[in-house]
Structures are given as C-alpha cells and as structure tokens.
Amino acid sequence: MCIGVITVSRKEEQYVRNTIGSLLEDLSAEERESIHLTLSIGHTNVSQHPIYTEKWVGTLPDKILEYRPEDVAKLEEWIENGNYQLKSVFDYMYLLKDCHATGARYVAMIEDDTIAVKGWYPRVLEALREVEEKMQSRPGQEWLYLRLFYSEHLLGWNKEDWRTYLFWSFHAWMIITTTFLVVQHNSKHAQKLLSDPAMLVISGVCIPASIALFFAYGRNSIWPLAPGVHEMNNFGCCAQGFVFPQYMVPAILEKISLMPNQLLDTMMESVSNDEGWARWATTPALLQSIGSVSSKGEDFNDMAKHLWNFGFEMYGQSGLG
C-alpha cells in the first residue's frame, strides 16, 4: 500500500504530527515493509511548513514529495488569489499520481488532520479483502474506494426520501389504528377502555406523536450501521481517508482533472454515479477528523469543526478492541 499524506501549514496546531504517528504506531516490521509512505508538503517553499526541519520528517516517510519547478508559478498565483480549492484538487491529483507510480496494489490518501485507530492497518487490509469478495458477485462493475472516514450527520433522514417516509408513516398510522378498531369491535372489555373519544385521541394525537418522536430520535440512533464493511454510494462525507485499488487511479486522474473547480469528494461522487462505480466504507470508521482549522482556507473552518465520526469513539469498548 502506498499511503499519501498532503500537509499544509495551519496557523495553530500542525495536526500532521499526530496523523503520521497514528498511521505508523505499533506496525510490525513486516507491515511497515509493505507500506510506502509519501508525505507531500503543499508549499512552493517547503521550509514555510513548521515541520520541515523536524527530525522525524527526514526519518519516517519513505519520500518527501515537492512540487515540480514548472508548477510553482501557477500554484503561487492560486495562493495569491485565495483559490485554495483549486490548489487542493491539484495537490491531491499530484500526490495520487505519484503514489500510483510506486506500483502498490492499493493507494490510501489520508488528510493531515486525522488520526487512525490503533491497529488500523490490518483492519483495513481485512476490509479490502471483504470488498474484493463482495465485488466478485458483481461481474462487470468496478469499485472506486474504501472509505475510512464518514460523518454520520449526512446519514440521517434525507429530504430526498420524504415520500418514502410519508408512505411508511401513513401505513404505520393505518395499521395501528386499524388494530385498535378491530380490538374495540371484538372485545367488550376493550370497549370500556377504547371509547370513541379515546380512539380519537389515540388515532389523532398519540400515534402521530409517536411517529414524530421516531423521526426526532434520529436515524443513526434507531438504525445504526452494524460493524463491518458497507456499501455507501450516497451521503458519505468527506475526503479524509480513501483507499483506491491501483487499477482505478488512472480513471480518477482522467475524470477529476476535467473538473478542478469543485470540491474533490463531490466530484468523485458525481463521476462514480455516472460510471456506476461502487463505494464502500468501514463501520466504525478507522479514521477520526481532529482538525478545526481547514487547509482550504478560513471559509471552510466552520465545516472542519463539525466533521466527526461518533462511531470511531466506540473503539476500545467491549467487542471492538
């Protein structure tokens, strides 16, 4: 596996130290040997990053990726104009292409404001084996990535499915109301309790209130994803950690490079929908987002503060290791 990490200096804490540390912690010698770690420093002058002179930078990564001289002028123009979104897409594609060139079977792209759960590497290899087994039953379909992070808040009740929710809510109301009416009609004892005014309250107030409470409680609380590997073709956010099969990288580079002015994860989802590529995710997530200061500029700071995977915090509890 080639692991690519892009790091850009933040005004406050440099999260990348924890990111790299968590990725390499407790790896066996054999596991470390199977990894090619590339650290890309996203500055035209790499010395601008506070970590550049730190000893671990010259020791832990297998490669420090710097920009080509011919790209510097273009990148400096983007930085001067505050076009961080365009630069972030360029950085991602540049590192992805470099990792692909190693010939590694998988390419993992990890953002520099994440931490990995202890033992993440054998877990992700097992998840990849499971994905490949699942895809054997789908001849002709490709899979784009295994997602190592997602934010559950997008997996709630989605407005796109309001007709489905209304349909099942109506049927739940109708079934429960009908059940009470049948009981009222066939049981003299029940008739004393289920008077017509009582039925009106039950049908018109209690059942709708219970349905409303069901939705208010939240989808993730009622139907959380079970631990394991799940197909997640919709509502998966964001780009903190993807593992791509090596053979899919050229297709990504070709498709994404055509749309440089959109958010990277949005582009990937759009292309995947068009191409029919499957996308998978690990539950609980193997990465946690720890950054509150975005590398894409201050406009993204508020979004960064709210990116969190609650399931990740379950690691260490009984049954999850």
Q: pLDDT tens for residues 197-231? A: 888 888 888 888 888 887 776 666 676 778 899 99
Predicted pLDDT at 197 = 83
**Nearest by Cα to 242 from 87, 104, 124, 80:** 124
Of 56-70, 122-136, 263-277, the poorest mean pLDDT is in 263-277
Per residue in 248-284, pLDDT (tens digit) is 999 999 988 766 667 888 889 999 999 999 999 999 9
The encoded tokens of residue 23 equal 């990725």
Q: 102 CB contacts (<8 Å, ≥6 apart)? A: 2, 36, 38
Beta bridge partners of 41: 7
Q: 1 CB contacts (<8 Å, ≥6 apart)? A: 34, 35, 36, 104, 105, 106, 107, 108, 125, 243
Predicted pLDDT at 46 = 92
| CA–CA gap between residue 94 and residue 269 (Å, rounded) | 20
Predicted pLDDT at 105 = 98
**Nearest by Cα to 282 from 145, 155, 144, 141:** 145
Q: 103 CB contacts (<8 Å, ≥6 apart)? A: 246
Predicted pLDDT at 310 = 82
pLDDT band at 129, cuts 50/70/90?
very high
The pTM (predicted TM-score) of the whole model is 0.80
Predicted pLDDT at 319 = 44
**Nearest by Cα to 243 from 155, 151, 85, 120:** 120
Q: 5 CB contacts (<8 Å, ≥6 apart)? A: 16, 19, 20, 23, 37, 38, 39, 40, 110, 111, 112
Residue 321 pLDDT > 70: no
**Nearest by Cα to 311 from 251, 200, 190, 221:** 221
Predicted pLDDT at 318 = 37
The encoded tokens of residue 162 equal 């309001």
Average pLDDT, integer, range 45-66: 95
Name the average pLDDT for the chain.
Answer: 87
Q: 307 CB contacts (<8 Å, ≥6 apart)? A: 151, 237, 238, 240, 289, 291
Predicted pLDDT at 131 = 98
Q: Look at residue 252 and give its three-state secondary structure.
A: helix
How far from chain centre, in Å, is Cα 199?
A: 46
Residue 156 pLDDT > 80: no
Decide which of 38 and 219 is more confident.
38
What percent of the chain is predicted at pLDDT more than 90?
55
| CA–CA gap between residue 319 and residue 153 (Å, rounded) | 24
Decide which of 186 and 75 is more confident.
75
Answer yes or no: are the C-beta atoms of 287 and 116 closer than 8 Å.
Answer: yes
Strand blocks (E) in 227-300:
228-231, 241-245, 278-283, 287-289
Of 31-35, 106-110, 169-173, the poorest mean pLDDT is in 169-173
| CA–CA gap between residue 154 and residue 298 (Å, rounded) | 22
How far from chain centre, in Å, is Cα 14?
A: 22
Decide which of 307 and 232 is more confident.
232
Residue 2 pLDDT > 80: yes
Q: Where are the alpha helices (DSSP H) in 187-314?
A: 188-193, 196-201, 207-217, 219-222, 249-256, 264-275, 301-305
Q: Where are the alpha helices (DSSP H) in 25-109?
A: 29-33, 69-80, 84-100
